[in-house]
Structure 1
Amino acid sequence: MNSKRGRIDRFLASRLQIPAKQAQLLIRQGEVLLDGQACSAVDRIINEFTRIECQGQLLQALTPAYWMLHKPAGVVSATTDAAHQTVLSLLPDEAQTQQLHIAGRLDKQTTGLLLLTNDARWSEAISQPSANKYKHYRVTLQNPLTEAYVAAFAQGFYFDYEGITTAPAQLNIISDYVADVILTEGKYHQIKRMFGRFRNPVVALHRYQVGQIVLDDGLALGQCRPLTAEEIASVAENSEPN
């Protein structure tokens, strides 16, 4: 999701459905308050969290919000869906008006850590591949694992359909049928497709960490909580696989 930054005069013109010149006149006449202060510059840059009032009318007052959800299987990573239950429906009433979006989706049957926010810059900093944030998954497989998997994941896989090679991923064998996979990408069904090269179906997939944010083990499936200040701030820090 792109950051909602832009000029105040363009915001007013769009929100109030008035000509740009009229919006600029309102600003110059001191009729517009930004965060409680009169604005006189028509090209002043605002974002989604700037409090905006015009002639006593409140046009925008959004507070940054950051949520952690323990996503259950069978729920889609979307804010709206005509056919399926969405993750947004699992959040409390207070979150329903916060204009949340998902920072890094999970497939319908994948469980685990899902992050939701209304802060576009924060979302981009944690979900974009260029952000280099490691995602940690616990994978349960139908067939036994071997050391050959470790080397193959570290080398990367070429996908003909997209014409791409996946970035190196770390695979740690936990038991014969269970492994932890750590990667920075999130391509379409990527983990299932990588194990598919070994004709080894994924039975269950669970994400338990993104960057330095770890799924709270006190959250049952379907439960959520706001992120702590430390968790929010950790997105600006470098993450390393462990």
Structure 2
Amino acid sequence: MRLNKYIAEAGITSRRKADELIKNGEIEINGVAVTELGIDVSDKDIVKYKGNILENQGKKMYIMLNKPAKYLSSVTDDRSRKTVIDLVKNRYTMRLYPIGRLDYETEGLLLLTNDGEITKKLTHPSHNIKKTYFVRTDKPFNKIQIENIMNGVDIGGYVTRKCKINVKEGSKNECHITIGEGKNRQVRKMFATQELEVTYLQRVSIGEIPLGNLALGKTRELTSKEILYLKSIN
């Protein structure tokens, strides 16, 4: 197998980025740094990146997780906090990596995969994939506050794009908001500009993929239709 494909299937990056790692001498084969593109490797070869052995994952996996609060959307944490990998490591044998992030206190839909190319594509800001969140605030909001958020607000040096908000029928402090960006703690900051604190936040969909009734902390594999949708995003 070509080295760049082997690296991509290990789940750490795309083939194009793998070529850069090779050219920069960051990849070792059997203890020797390589810089030549187009090299083939076999199952008998030991491939390392930053001292870590890369394992070819073979089959690509695409997993949906209903992330609980107080779990980091990362593989490891230097402060020994729980990560989403702690929730899936005993269910799947291959190494999985979260696609994007959910805030530490936020629940809901998070995708994980060992497909480096898909991860890079879906996290690139140019795609503006719509994400919908269920929001509950500490006090009732009014029409002006909602309109302000929908028209774009300054969350600290960045003015958000126009977004869509649907207030939950019969509620004065619950709604669904759909945004196309993914700034750090963006939804919480958007409501904070209107002196509203988000007390509960849950991501309920990514593009055309809904969380549905998946239980908190549980996982399921994406359907073939959902996988094709992800791969079709340009």
TM-score, normalized by length of structure 1? 0.75
Residues 1:6 and 2:2 aligned together: no
SS in structure 2 at match of 1:113: strand
Match of 1:87 in 2: 84
Change (3 A) 1:94 1:179: closer
Structure possessing the higher radius of gyration over alpha carbons? 1
Match of 1:168 in 2: 162
Contact 1:6 1:45 in 2 (8 A): no
Query: What is the alpha-carbon distance in structure 1 between the residues aligned to residue 148 and residue 26 of structure 2?
Result: 54
SS in structure 2 at match of 1:164: coil
RMSD value, Cα:
2.8
Match of 1:38 in 2: none
Q: Which amino acid aligns with 1:128?
A: H
Give the CA deviation at 1:207: 0.3
Change (3 A) 1:7 1:149: closer
Contact 2:154 2:193 in 1 (8 A): no
Query: What is the alpha-carbon distance in structure 2 between the residues aligned to residue 8 and residue 80 of structure 1?
Result: 22
Residues 1:16 and 2:18 aligned together: no
Change (3 A) 1:238 1:58: closer
Equivalenced residues, count: 209
TM-score, normalized by length of structure 2? 0.78
Query: What is the alpha-carbon distance in structure 1 between the residues aligned to residue 28 and residue 217 of structure 2?
Result: 38
Query: What is the alpha-carbon distance in structure 2 between the residues aligned to residue 8 and residue 138 of structure 1?
Result: 40
Give the CA deviation at 1:120: 2.1
Give the CA deviation at 1:147: 1.8
Out of 57, 62, 66, the position equivalent to 1:62 is 57
Match of 2:37 in 1: 43
Contact 1:126 1:211 in 2 (8 A): no
Contact 2:26 2:33 in 1 (8 A): no
Instruction: Extract unaligned runs of 5+ from structure 1.
Output: 24-41, 47-51
Identity %: 30
Contact 2:29 2:46 in 1 (8 A): no
Contact 1:212 1:235 in 2 (8 A): no
Change (3 A) 1:98 1:153: same
Instruction: Extract unaligned runs of 5+ from structure 2.
Output: 1-11, 48-54
